[in-house]
Amino acid sequence: MKWSTACQDWEERIVAGDSLVPIAPLFPAKADDALRVFKSLQVVDLPKKANGRHPTLGELVDDDILDLVAAIFGAEDPATGQRLIREFMLLISKKNGKSTIAAGIMLTALIVNWRPHAELLILAPTLEVAKNSFDPAKGMVEADEELAQLLHVKEHQRLIQHRILKAELKVVAADSDTASGKKAGMVLVEELWLFGKKPKSAAMLREATGGLSARPEGFVLYITTHSDEPPAGVFKAKLEYFRDVRDGKIEDPTSMGVLYEYPEAMLEDQAYLEPDNFYVTNPHMGSSVTKEWLEGELRKEQSGDGEGLQIFLAKHLNVEIGLRLRRDRWMAADYWDAAEEDPLDLADLLDRCEVVVVGLDGGGADDLYGLGVGGRERGTGVWLTWSHAWARRVVLDRRKDIASVLLGFEADGDLTFTDTGQEIVEQVARKTVDIRGSGLMPDVGAVGVDAWGMGPLVDALVAAGFETYDDVTKRGGSIVPVRQGVGLTGTIKTVEFKLVDGMLRHAPSRMMQWCVSNARAELRGSNMYISKQAAGGKIDPLIATLNAVQLLEAGPVAGGGGVSTEDWIAGLRAA
């Protein structure tokens, strides 16, 4: 058999309200058997009907979701017991019955399973999510006399056991239970976005799904909304993979993603804010969620705090949080992505530029230490920037809320962890010396540092041959202090201007995207300040880049042929 799980016309399908499942069930009879079970399950948190039964999943669930259920169970070859499509993702907006769908799929799997003593697992990130998954499954069993005779609910263990085959469906909370030692052949991972915030989630999920290797009929289904922060960790990795499979960039017929998200064109023109377009990521519009309710909630968020708005968009409209959602975002965020120069790394920048400068910025023990390189391109005058950051490893314990994000930047090669601050100082100084070796640094204004709290680094740079400006002798000046706060106002405006005109280009970096999205622009009088958007955000590499840009504003020339030391300091003080 040959088939493809790519759905390259998904943008047309989702706008038209058509199914996002790209193929019919591989084995229709298996799909039909499972669908009969799934459709018959009763949803007990809805009132009973005239016939004394609660509404069933068959009556409530959208046909597109039923197509996914059919695809999952219809992928098992009845002759061999092998499931040919083994990994699935459902990305769906909040209030679309996600936990109920999860419970129905896994209860169906328990009922149609043929292996004695099989283990089935719903893995939830927290106790609350575990309860949200277990309670609907428990209710489905208790509402049906036939099911109650076939299945035994052990509420205190969050476990449902098949009385004949002794197969078990267990709901496990990752924050209290353990997934180690499980041999589950069928696994549903609830709210994958929350696992993305836990730095050890990838290893835990590998442990939880390890049983699939010995269970040919096994599958894993990830079911989630979007994250309330930019995607990170295992959630980001899985989301990108399933997108690439859907888009045909990766050929993997064993994986299938059903991802309810807006086409790029609708994101660009913010068409997701139009109530008539809410249906795109809400397949159960009109049943579990209504346009009127979403419209009312959106109106509240638009008149309130921008942070609440972005969470609403992520959760209820599945709009991925990125650079352009926050109301008080820095204006440069609107143009940052378009200014990406790919490929561009440090070597490319040094090869293309006639002069380069370095900006540095660092904070406390749990902050990042940023290095920004800025250069003026030979022939075009375009400014090019490249960034890197360092952090003490202790930040992973102190800031667990962003640990998985930082580990992702390390994997990208944009962030280096060290055990001590002295290691950071030595590595930053060494990198700066390496850049000086290109012969492109000016003699004056080569390295810009925050005037406060940079003593150990300045000492290391001086030891490496850089000079600070001496007010008495009027000599030196390869290291210059860069005023922060109001002192960066002109630089901030310069960056905005050049980004819009395409005269500032930057290297690809998810870390810098994150820093820019964390930046909040504040206008105090006629001065512009950049500060952190939220407590979890970091902007040190961005400030380092702004420090480098301020040096470029002075019009430096490699080898000291530019402005004099006196002119440089006078201009700096005037700013």
SS (H, E, C) 331-364: CCHHHHHHHECCCCCHHHHHHHEEEEEEEEEECC
Q: Which of 212-221, 410-419, 536-545 has the highest mean pLDDT?
A: 410-419
Equal fold, 10-265 vs 333-574: no
Please enumerate in sequence order all residues whose Cβ is within 8 A of that of 373, keeping only pairs 6 or more positions apart, or say none.
Answer: 346, 349, 356, 357, 358, 359, 385, 386, 387, 435, 548
Pairing of strands 255-259, 87-91: parallel
**pLDDT given for residue 141 in this prediction:** 95
Pairing of strands 255-259, 353-362: unpaired
pLDDT surpasses 90 at 307: no
**pLDDT given for residue 281 in this prediction:** 95
Domain boundaries, the chain: 10-265, 333-574
CA separation, residue 17 to residues 124, 243, 285 (Å): 30, 19, 11
User: What are φ and ψ of residue 121, in 5° steps?
Assistant: -140, 130
pLDDT surpasses 90 at 247: yes
Give dist(CA 286, CA 268) in Å, integer: 26
pLDDT surpasses 50 at 16: yes
Q: Which of 155-169, 394-408, 532-546 has the highest mean pLDDT?
A: 155-169
First to last CA, the chain: 70
Rounding to the nearest 10 degrees, give the CA dihedral for residues 92, 404, 106, 68.
Answer: 40
**pLDDT given for residue 362 in this prediction:** 80
pLDDT in tens, 426-469: 999 999 999 998 889 998 889 988 765 567 888 888 888 888 76
The residue type found at 135 is D
**pLDDT given for residue 530 in this prediction:** 66
pLDDT surpasses 70 at 304: no
Q: How would residue 179 be classed by pLDDT, with cut points 50, 70 and 90?
A: low
Other Cβ atoms closer than 10 A to 304: 12
Q: What would the CATH number be for the domain defined by 333-574?
A: 3.30.420.240
Q: How would residue 563 be classed by pLDDT, with cut points 50, 70 and 90?
A: very low
pLDDT surpasses 50 at 535: no
Structure-block tokens of residue 391: 């952090």
63 or 206, higher pLDDT:
63
Does the model's pTM come out above 0.95? no
pLDDT in tens, 485-503: 666 778 888 898 999 999 9
Average pLDDT, the chain: 86
User: What are φ and ψ of residue 507, in 5° steps?
Assistant: -70, 150
pLDDT surpasses 50 at 24: yes
Q: How would residue 522 be classed by pLDDT, with cut points 50, 70 and 90?
A: low
**pLDDT given for residue 480 in this prediction:** 82
Q: Is 281 exposed, middle or buried (0-12, 13-18, 19+ CB in 10 A)?
A: buried
Domain 10-265 class?
alpha beta
pLDDT surpasses 60 at 323: no
